[in-house]
Each structure stands twice: as structure tokens, then as C-alpha cells.
Chains A and B, each alone.
Chain A
Amino acid sequence: GQNIDQPTEMTATEGAIVQINCTYQTSGFNGLFWYQQHAGEAPTFLSYNVLDGLEEKGRFSSFLSRSKGYSYLLLKELQMKDSASYLCAVRDSNYQLIWGAGTKLIIKP
């Protein structure tokens, strides 16, 4: 079966750095996405990785290792508004998105 694993919940301090991991086992791989979802709101696109390595976009970076079936989302200089759920999704060989259950990130002052 296809599976995406990510921690259920994480807590971090304002101004700090946090890394949210995602491991996947899918039938084929055609890219990995990270989305942010604030409570009661729509998921919004954060990043896309299809090749190994690090993609940096401001305070957020996303890393991919296809050989290890592993990705992480790195958030720097955390702000209270970063409190949200972070969803990892992998596009499989049929070009369908397989979603993780999301990681709820709680930022404390």
C-alpha cells in the first residue's frame, strides 16, 4: 500500500527553528509537495521538490532524498502565525496526490 508518515504534533518556540519530517512509500514518485493549513482555512501551497536537494524560499526550506523516501520542511525564525498544520503529499506514478495526515505545529512565545 501507499503510505505517508509525518509526526502528529510538534511544539516549538517563537524565533527558533523547527524541522518537520515526512517519509513516504508510494508506487512511483513524481514530486513531493508541502502545504500549510491554518485552522478552519484552506491548505495553501508552500513548496515542491522533484529532485534531490534543498529548495529554499524565504524562511521556509524543503529537502528531498528520493533514495531514502524522505523529505523535511524547515521553518526558521518562527513566528506565531506559523502555528498551523503542515501537510506532506507525494504524487505517485498515476499522478495522483497521496497525502499525509498532517503535522500540527504549535508555536509558543
Chain B
Amino acid sequence: ETGVTQTPRHLVMGMTNKKSLKCEQHLGHNAMYWYKQSAKKPLELMFVYNFKEQTENNSVPSRFSPECPNSSHLFLHLHTLQPEDSALYLCASRQGLADTDTQYFGPGTRLTVL
């Protein structure tokens, strides 16, 4: 068991829909991340939360809206997406900021925008 769960695993939505991705970590970590993974491209960091506070927003379009109600849960709200937003969206968590702290990933949500 990975310790980081994501729902749904697959999502197909139209460009006018509104949907949300959910991530939950059961590891007691303090930092959570959203990444976008497109085929044959590097992971793109989207958002970072440390102790529920957003510390990083890598110029992500406003049609992606994160929410972190507590240190165990992270959401990504989606609205009026574009077909090029189709990708695998990965959530990750990390214990703290020590050099050796690694990120633990969830299985991802495969998003298709029609």
C-alpha cells in the first residue's frame, strides 16, 4: 500500500465541466504536491503546500485551483479545461524539509479532456 491515495483514478470530462481531484496521505507528512505528467515529458510541479500553506505556484493557469483543508488532504479543482490539459496528475507528500526526505507519490488520476 502506497500511503498516498488519489481519486478518481480515471476521469473524462468536457471542457465546460467542473470536477475535483482528491489526494489523501496517511503518512503524517507535512508537505503535499501536485504534479502534471505528460507523455515523454518531465514531471511538472504545479503546487506545493507546507503545513497547509501554499508555498509554490508554478505559473499554473487559473482553471486549476488547489485546496488544502488540512495536512492530510489535497484537492485540485478543475474548470473549463482544455484538451492539452489531458495528462496524469500525480499527488505526492513529504515528511519535512530535511535533505534526505523523499517524496511519496500516489497512483495518479488519468485525466482526459474532450
Contact = CB atoms under 8 A, between A and B. Distances in A.
Interface residues of A, number: 25
A89 B110 CA distance: 22
Given A42-B2, A87-B43, A99-B43, A30 B103 contact: no
Given A4-B42, A42-B90, A42-B108, A31 B99 contact: yes
B99 A30 contact: yes
B99 A43 contact: no
Contacts of A40: 107, 110
A45 B103 contact: yes
A50 B45 contact: no
Contacts of A48: 100, 102
Contacts, number: 46
Nearest to B56: A96
B21 to A, nearest CB: 14
A44 B105 CA distance: 7
Given A41-B107, A42-B4, A101-B40, A96 B102 contact: no
Interface in A19-70: 30-31, 33, 35, 40-45, 48, 50
Interface of B: 2, 4, 40-43, 45, 56, 90, 97, 99-100, 102-108, 110
25 contacts: A30-B99, A31-B100, A33-B102, A35-B105, A41-B107, A42-B2, A42-B4, A42-B90, A42-B105, A42-B106, A42-B108, A43-B43, A44-B105, A45-B104, A50-B99, A87-B43, A91-B99, A96-B45, A96-B56, A97-B43, A97-B45, A100-B42, A101-B41, A102-B40, A102-B42
